[in-house]
Amino acid sequence: MAVYLDNAATTYPKPAAVYDRMDDFLRNHCANPGRSGHRMSVESQRAVVQCRQAVADLLGAPSPDHVVFTLNATDALNIAIKGIVRPGDHVVTTRMEHNSVARPLEGAKRHGVEVTFVGADCEGRVAASDILAAVRGNTRLVAMTHASNVVGTILPVEEVATALRGTSCLLLVDAAQTAGAVPISVKDAGIDLLAFAGHKGPLGPPGTGGLIVGGRALPGPFREGGTGTVSESITHPEELPERLEAGTLNVSGIVGLLAGVEYLLDRTVASVREHERAMAEALHLGLASIQGVTVYGPADFALRSGPVSFSVGEADPRAVAAILDASFDVAVRAGLHCAPLAHQSLGTYPAGTVRMSPGPFTTVEDVTTALQAVEQVAAAFV
């Protein structure tokens, strides 16, 4: 792939250490962690422990034991929502959410949970005052994305977290778009639950993710089964992280995730943020200068993360994306991006948009090539 601009879905490429260490693990250390006393098992467990510590350092977890490994961010969000919310509870969320939040909450409504969706403006901004005004006496959870996966708009997570301190209402943050790309600390911000995707900002492989559990929240078990600890008990362990983990972990994926996180800790999230911000801003400004192209989201990149969404006249976004891929070798994503409520707020429903999302390894040359390609496509459609 000559130009890859789909990092909001999965980052590519990965640091070389991710490939090398996963290969070494699968060839030489591929055993169940914590299940046996032999050297291969011990080595597997050591990698899991090291990754918990690295992720805790990256995302400001209260302790490594509060880092729960999951299949992906969607899995983590389901664990949090279904482990906390009960019939009769009220949940506040926003219309900028990915379906990973919206769908579990819609399902919860069928079981007696009330859900309030707070509106967003045409640039994807949601006011903290509107979120807090929706909180009431039986509100158990506020669930909100840290940044939109469509236009990158950053929501006021820290402001909401501060306001909810001292209340019985918990805060769940979907950091799928920001973990590893925008600095954030669960402990410092006072976030109760934070879901992250290992295959995005943390630069790990697909099939990895996690839930950071803060000091106030303790979801009930989502799965129960083998943990390798307290095997004499017929009931699932109460302690973290085993409370929310069951069965054999994706250790090869966790080894890759560890390599990605260590790369980030060395490079620093702040430097990645500045790089992606510069690339995204260049894309936004360049696209806005092309005749017939409409760009969405705030123009101030201090208020947004990497994704840049646009449309070309009345052209179907999927057709534009297909041409960019087939004719120019530029990889983007088109459509509703699993966030139909967000597109309704932006005014881009039902067709959606074309989304370009730079990553840590996107270059100025990549941006230039992509803009030249869009200019040629736009000339054909407009």
Q: Return the domain boundaries, the chain.
A: 3-12+269-381, 16-267
Smallest CA-to-CA distance from 124 within 347, 278, 277 is with 347
Q: Which residues of 28-48 are buried (b: 16+ CB within 10 A; e: fewer)?
A: ebebbbbbeeeeebebbbebb
Query: How do residues 277-295 score in pLDDT, each as one tens digit?
Result: 999 999 999 999 999 999 9
pLDDT band at 1 (very low <50, low <70, confident <90, very high): low
Taking residues 228-250, report their average pLDDT. 87
Measured torsion, CA atoms of residues 133, 136, 139, 141, in degrees rounded to the nearest 10: 20
Q: What integer pLDDT is reported at residue 36 of this predicted model?
A: 75
161-189 pLDDT, tens digit per residue, is 999 999 999 999 999 999 999 999 999 99
Q: pTM higher than 0.95 for the full model?
A: yes
pLDDT band at 204 (very low <50, low <70, confident <90, very high): very high
Closest Cα to residue 164, out of 214, 239, 109, 114?
214
pLDDT digits (tens, 9 = 90+) for 101-158: 999 999 999 999 999 999 999 999 999 999 999 999 999 999 999 999 999 999 999 9
Closest CA to 100 of 80, 119, 73: 73
Chain-centre distance of CA 234, in angstroms? 35
Tokens of 228: 């390798």
According to the model, what pLDDT value does residue 232 have?
81
Fold of 16-267: Aspartate Aminotransferase; domain 2 (3.40.640)
What are φ and ψ of residue 211, in 5° steps? -125, 125
* Mean pLDDT of all residues belonging to the chain: 96
Question: Which residues fall within 8 angstroms of residue 182, CB to CB, at 6 or more apart?
Answer: 146, 147, 154, 201, 269, 273, 305
3-12+269-381, CATH topology level: Aspartate Aminotransferase, domain 1 (3.90.1150)
Is the peptide bond preceding residue 13 cis, with omega within 30 degrees of 0? yes
Q: Which two tokens stand for residue 268?
A: 């620093």
pLDDT tens digits, residue range 328-379? 999 999 999 999 999 999 999 999 999 999 999 999 999 999 999 999 999 9
